[in-house]
Amino acid sequence: MLCERCNTRPASVHYTEITNNKKQEIRLCEECAREAGITGIGIMPQFVLQNLLGGLFEGTPVQVEPSYVQCKRCGLTEQDFAQRGLLGCAECYTVFGPAVGRILHRIHGKAEHTGKLPRRTGKIAGLKHELKRLRQELDAAVRQEAFEKAAELRDRIRDLERDCRGGQ
Amino acid sequence: MALKKILTDPRSRWMEEGGPEADVSVSSRVRLARDLAAYPFPHRLRAEQAEEVLHAVRLALDRPEVTKRLGKMEFMRLTELSPVERHVLVEKHLVSPDLLKGDPAGKAVIIRQDEAISIMVNEEDHLRIQCLLPGLALQECWELAGTVDDALEATVEYAFNEEFGYLSACPTNVGTGLRASVMMHLPGLAATGMIEEVIPGLSKLGLTVRGLYGEGTKAAGSFFQVSNQITLGRQEEEIINNLTALVRRLVSQEREARRRLHQEQRGALEDRVFRSYGVLQYARVLTSEEAMRSLSDLRLGLALKIIKRIPLSLVSELMVLSQPAFLIRLAGKELKPAERDVLRAQLIRERLQGKKPGADGEGNGKKR
C-alpha cells in the first residue's frame, strides 16, 4: 500500500486518530510521518492534523483530474491549500465551498455553526438560525398532531420570514 | 513602566491564589480566533495590509468606552521587542510560540496590565483573543473573552459565514473559533501510570492533551494542557461546560491517585517532596529540567500539605522565573546555559527565602 500523502513511497506508519468518537486511520511512509510530526506513542501534537489537512483536500473523491480552481480575491489555489492546509481569505470558504464543507465535516463531525453570532453583522444569520429552529419545532409539532402549537409556530415563522426579507 | 513590568516580573494574574480547584488545575485559558472580513488571512497579507489590520484593531480598543470597561492595554509590536523579550512573553503564556515564527514585521500583541487578557495580532489569524485566569475558571475566561470580542466587533467587521460561523485561516478553528484549555498538574496520575490510559481516553472524547507550552511541546514536570479539539457545530457554552465537566472528573481522579500514593507510599513520597524542596532551597546549579521536576514535587507536597506556608502561586511564579529567556532578560545580557543554571538556582533560592521578585525591587508591594 502506498503512502496516503505522497503516493509514491510504501506506507509503513499506520496512524490512528480518534476525534469526537470517530476513528480515522491514516497510512503514511516514514518520511511523510516524520514531516507530519508523527513520531510514535505519546502525546500527539495538534499540528499533525493541520499538516494532514492538505491531504484530505487532495483526496476528496469528486476530483478525478486536477482542477485549477482559484480564489479570485486572494489568489489561493487548491494546490496552495493542499500544501499548507490554510485557506487564504473569507472568500475562499465560498470558492472552495463544497470541498471545505467536507473537510470541516471530517474534522469536526459537523459542518454547521450553531454558536455565537457577531452582534452587528450577524443579525440576519441569527434570524435564519431561529427560523431553522422554529421549522424543526413545527415539524415535530405536526408529527405529534399538536395543531394548536403548530399554528402558533407557523405564524411566528411567517413573521420571521418577513423580517429576513426586510433586512436584506 | 507597565511594559517593563510585563517583561521582568514573573507574576501574572493566572498564577494568583484562590483559583478554583487550584491544587490540580493551575490555570484556565480561552482563546478566540477571529479574522477581519476585509483582508486576506495573515499568511497572504501584504506588509501595508498587515499595518492596516494593526491600525484597525488598535483603534477599536482605544475607544474610551472600551478602555473604561476592559482597562488599559499595552500595545507592543513584535519588532519593538528584542528576540529575548518575545520569548519571555511565550514563557509567561501570553503569546503562542507560533507568533514568533517567521517575519516579526506586522505582528503585535496587546496585553492588559494584569495579563489576564492578551490579543495576538497577525498570528495565524488576524486576531487571537486570549483570556487567562487562575484555577478552573473556563466560564469566567469565556465571558471575559466574549467582552473583548464584542468590543472589537463594534468597529471591525469579522469574517463570518452563516453556515460555517467565524472563518479562520485553518479549518480546525472554524465555527466558534474557540479553544478552551486548562493547565493541569497531574503528578499522581503520572506516578501511578494511569496517565497512559487517561490521555487516549480524553482524545476519544474530542479533547487534546499537550505539554506545558502548547502544540508540540513535551509534558515537563507532569504539567498537561487539556483542550477541546472541535470548534464547529457546538455552542460555546457547550464546549466550555463539557471541558469543565471532564476536567472536574480528572481533578477528582488525580486527587484520588495522590491520596493513594500518599497512603501507600508515604515515606517514599515525602522523601521525594522534601528532597526536591531541599534542592530548590540550597542548590547552586539548577538545570531547567531539574528545576521543573523539583517544582512539580514541591507543588504536589503543598497540595498534600506535606509542606506548608508556601503559596501555590509561588510555584507558578518560579516556573516562569526558571525559563531561559526570562533569566536572560533579568540578567540583561546573553547567558551560557551553565550561567543560566547558576542564576536560576540563585533566584529560586532567594525567592524561597522571601526575597521579593523583580529586577530592581520594583515588584515590591501591591501588584495591582
B237-259 pLDDT, tens digit each: 999 999 999 999 999 999 999 99
A118: closest chain B residue by CA: B153
Q: Does a structural domain hold residue A125?
A: yes
Angstrom distance (rounded) from CA A10 to CA A125: 47
Please check whether residues A41 and A90 belong to one and the same domain.
Answer: no
**Looking at A19-23, B53-57, B66-70, which range is the least confident one?**
A19-23
Enclosing domain of residue A162: 119-167
Q: For position A15, what pLDDT does the model report?
A: 61
A residues 32-91 near B, CB within 8 Å? 37, 43-47, 49-50, 53, 73-76, 84-90
pLDDT at A167 > cutoff 80: no
Instruction: Please check whether residue A157 lies inside any domain of the structure.
Output: yes
Q: Which of B164, B167, B236 sits opposite A116 (nearest CB)?
A: B236
Residues paired with B27 in a beta bridge = B134, B183
Percent of chain B, pLDDT > 70?
94
In this structure, are A4 and A55 located in the same domain? Answer: no
Q: Residue A99: inside a domain, yes or no?
A: yes
Interface of B with A in 32-51 (CB under 8 A): 35, 37, 39-41, 43-44
Query: Which candidate, B218, B220, B221, B186, places its Cα nearest to that of B202?
Result: B186
The residue with greater pLDDT, B32 or A121, is: B32
pLDDT > 90: percent of chain A: 10
- The whole-angstrom distance between B48's CA and the closest CA on chain A is 15
Is A18 in contact with B200 (Cβ distance < 8 A)? yes
Do residues A41 and A54 share a domain?
Answer: no
Q: Contact B299/B315 with Cβ under 8 angstroms?
A: yes
Cβ contacts (< 8 Å) between B164 and chain A: which residues?
93, 100-101, 104, 111-113
Domains plus CATH for chain B?
2-258 (3.30.590.10), 266-352 (no CATH)
pLDDT over 90 for what percent of chain B? 76
Average pLDDT over residues B327-342: 94
| Distance separating alpha carbons of residues A131 and A108, to the nearest angstrom | 24
**Which of B164, B170, B208 is the closest to A93 by Cβ?**
B164
Q: Is residue A36 part of a domain?
A: yes
- Tell whether the model's pLDDT for residue B202 goes beyond 80: yes
- Both A99 and A138 in one domain: the answer is no
Per-residue pLDDT, A28: 74
ipTM surpassing 0.90: no
For residue B280, pLDDT over 60 is answered with: yes
Closest Cβ opposite residue B171 in set A100, A110, A119: A100
Q: CB-CB: which of A45, A50, A110 is closest to B170?
A: A50
Question: CA of A135, closest CA in chain B: separation in Å?
Answer: 17
CB atoms within 10 A of CB A125: 17
Among the ranges given (A36-50, B88-102, B195-209), the one the predictor scored with the smallest mean pLDDT: A36-50
Distance, in Å, from the CA atom of B345 to the CA atom of B326, rounded to the nearest integer, reads 13
- How many structural domains comprise chain A? 3
Nearest residue on chain B to A72, alpha-carbon basis:
B40
Pairing outcome for strands B178-185 and B165-166: unpaired
The pLDDT value given to residue A18: 57
Residues comprising chain A, all counted: 168
Q: Which of B201, B349, B191, B336 is nearest to B272 (CA)?
A: B191
Shared-domain flag, residues A102 and A76: yes
Reported as half-sphere exposure (CB side, CA atoms, 13 A), residue B73 has a value of: 27
Inform me whether the pLDDT recorded for A43 exceeds 50: no
Q: Which of A43, A94, A100 sits opposite B209 (nearest CB)?
A: A43
Could you tell me if A100 and A133 lie in one domain? no
CA-based nearest distance A85→chain B, Å: 7
SS3 (DSSP) at B17: coil
User: Which tens digits make up the pLDDT trace of B169-191?
Assistant: 999 999 999 999 999 999 999 99
> What is the pLDDT, as a whole number, of residue A46?
39
Q: Are residues A103 and A67 in the same domain?
A: yes
DSSP B138-192: HHHHHHHHHHHHHHHHTTS-B-EETTTEE--SSGGGTBT-EEEEEEEE-HHHHHT
* Residues of B whose CB is below 8 A from A38: none
Suggest the residue from B166, B207, B224 to mutate for an interface test with chain A (most A CBs closer than 10 A).
Answer: B166
The pLDDT value given to residue A56: 57
DSSP B211: B
Q: Of the candidates A67, A86, A108, which is a domain's last residue?
A: A108
CATH number of the domain that A41 lies in? 3.30.60
Judgement on whether residues A29 and A61 belong to the same structural domain of the protein: no
Specify the pLDDT at position B266: 95
How confident is the model at residue B324, as a pLDDT?
92
Averaged pLDDT for residues A56-77: 66
Per-residue pLDDT, A82 = 83
pLDDT in tens, A117-152: 988 766 777 777 788 888 888 999 899 888 888 899
**Residue A19: its pLDDT value, please?**
58
What does the pLDDT average to over B19-29?
95
pLDDT tens digit string along B260-270?
A: 999 999 999 99
Res B44: pLDDT: 93
In the listed set A108, A142, A159, which residue is the last one of a domain according to the structure?
Answer: A108
Residue A104 has pLDDT above 70, yes or no: yes
pLDDT exceeds cutoff 50 at B334: yes
The residue that leads in pLDDT, B155 or B142, is: B142
Say whether both A56 and A104 belong to one domain.
yes
Q: Is residue A113 part of a domain?
A: no
DSSP single-letter state for residue B20: T
Structural domain includes residue A158: yes
Judgement on whether residues A41 and A53 belong to the same structural domain of the protein: no
A18 touches chain B (CB under 8 A): yes
Q: Which residue has the higher pLDDT, A123 or B45?
A: B45
Residue A39 lies in a domain: yes
- Between A55-59, B5-9, B60-64, B350-354, the lowest mean confidence (pLDDT) is in A55-59
Q: What is the mean pLDDT of chain A?
A: 74
- Contact between A88 and B153 using a beta-carbon 8 Å cutoff: no
What number of C-beta contacts closer than 8 Å exist between A and B? 163
Tens-place pLDDT, residues B344-364: 999 999 999 987 765 444 443
DSSP state for residue B219 in the 8-state scheme: -
CA distance A112 to chain B (A): 5
Q: What is the DSSP string of A12-79?
A: -EEEEEEETTEEEEEEE-HHHHHHTT--SSS---THHHHHHHHHHHHT-TT-SS----B-TTT--BHH
pLDDT of residue A111: 85
Residues A57 and A26 in one domain: no
